[in-house]
Structure 1
């Protein structure tokens, strides 16, 4: 809403996309395991936010993730440097 007001964007041109995972990985765990087992390379998880938005929790949980998904890789792209630039 603030973004819409700030930049005077017509509400008909706005769509909210929620963060999440593909439906195939959410609805049926046996299907998600099957899909994962067919991959040639281990999955790469990417954390791309500021550190205070869950990075600590992810780092605590990652050993369990790695035990469940052999070879999983975590790449962290995080900093407190948040810039706001408008690309036109």
Structure 2
């Protein structure tokens, strides 16, 4: 994570996983979730300005957030699927 995240979850996305992932970033201090149904151009503009003004807080929180974020998640998932297909399980 090199930049603050501003997330606008799709309201029709099943399971609310986008909202839940956004909450994790908010709690880590590296992102903000904006509900699409409440979003206006003014709110988005204000949120971007606030993120720029708070870059130091983001930089302070980024290292601890790295523990939450698996940048290689797709690769790890693919390896697990392939190993399961081959009849073995990764540790």
TM value normalised by structure 1: 0.28
Which entry has the higher C-alpha Rg, 1 or 2?
1
TM value normalised by structure 2: 0.27
